[in-house]
Amino acid sequence: MFNNKSILITGGTGSFGKKFTEIVLQKFTPRKFIIFSRDELKQSEMQADFSEEKYPFIRYFIGDVRDKERLYRALDDVEIVVHAAALKQVPAAEYNPFEAIKTNVLGAANLIDAAIDRNVEKVIALSTDKAANPINLYGATKLCSDKLFVAANSYSGKHQTRFSVVRYGNVVGSRGSVIPFFLSKKKSGVVPITDTRMTRFWITLEQGVNFVLFCLEQMEGGELFVPKIPSMNIMDLAKAITPECKHEIVGIRPGEKLHEVLVPEDDARRTLEFENYFVIKPELNFWTSKKSSHAEGKSCPDGFRYSSDNNSQMLSIEELRVMIGV
């Protein structure tokens, strides 16, 4: 479905955006592929790897999702949008709440309006486990964004633009993740640990990209897709990366959870389980009249909760080392 299509990715120079670009260019031949981001330096660096000379259909657009007019220009003749732009650092969002709201919430609203008015076919937005029962501002803005994208299906009207969301956990090797932090502490011989019981969902960039591509093919509009991914204990991660270091317990930071959730209990009644993923269906659905392609899913029982501590897939120290490449 991606050959000869016009595709735009917001936040295109981020960790996900670069891997998404790499995989799409390996597997498909788009008619046009637009990297939309606000950082001219990162775009310049990315052009060294994905040049317009080698890929004549690639375009680099400087722009911010806060700027609706720029989005209208960028989305001209675009058929598929992947929304990866966000302010995602928890402490930064707590200290700069209005900035997080402008990008994560108002930016989502801008993209929705522009996509509908430009007759985009499909929009899929990246979410986070922190949006499920959020306790920090970043999670709250992403939950708001998720709900905006789901609801957008009900007022796209004759334009028929469809919106869905992908929600997954921590990404191995992404900027700001715990792995580079642990490695930076290696020389000191002491690694700070928030809580020895802490668990997190874990996914690689490549797995994340491939799941998004899969969801773009499967989506009807309004779904929230959740992959089945393994969890890890923070102590096992520390032992996998820095086995020779001592551990210093520093306590959970403000806005942090002991365990993360991808499917909360309150969403269980609307959740379908498949072999490798879950689909959280929208509360209301005015836009899909045909037989759903999700009909084969198994309804989750009341009280079901998919969290990093009750996950049947827990990574061992050796599996973590293989996954991380250490």
- Residues belonging to the active site: 130
Tokens linked to 72: 């209208």
Amino acid of residue 222: G
Per DSSP (E only), the strands in the chain are 6-10, 32-37, 58-62, 80-83, 122-126, 162-166, 170-172, 190-193, 199-204, 224-227, 231-233, 246-249, 261-263, 271-273, 277-280, 298-299, 306-307
For residues 123 and 162, give the distance between their C-alpha atoms in angstroms, rounded to a whole number. 6
- Give DSSP secondary structure letters for 259-322: S-EEE-GGGGGGEEE-SSEEEE--S--SS--SPPTTTTPEEPPTT--EETTS-S-B--HHHHHH
For residues 134 and 127, give the distance between their C-alpha atoms in angstroms, rounded to a whole number. 12
Residues 6+ apart with CB under 8 A from 86: 11, 103, 104, 126, 142
DSSP secondary-structure letter at 132?
S
- Which residues sit opposite 7 in a β-bridge? 33, 80
Residues 6+ apart with CB under 8 A from 141: 87, 93, 100, 101, 104, 105
User: What are the Cα distances from residue 90, in Å, to 3, 27, 33, 46?
Assistant: 37, 34, 31, 26
In the chain, what are the helix, strand and coil shares in percent, each to the nearest 5? 40, 20, 40
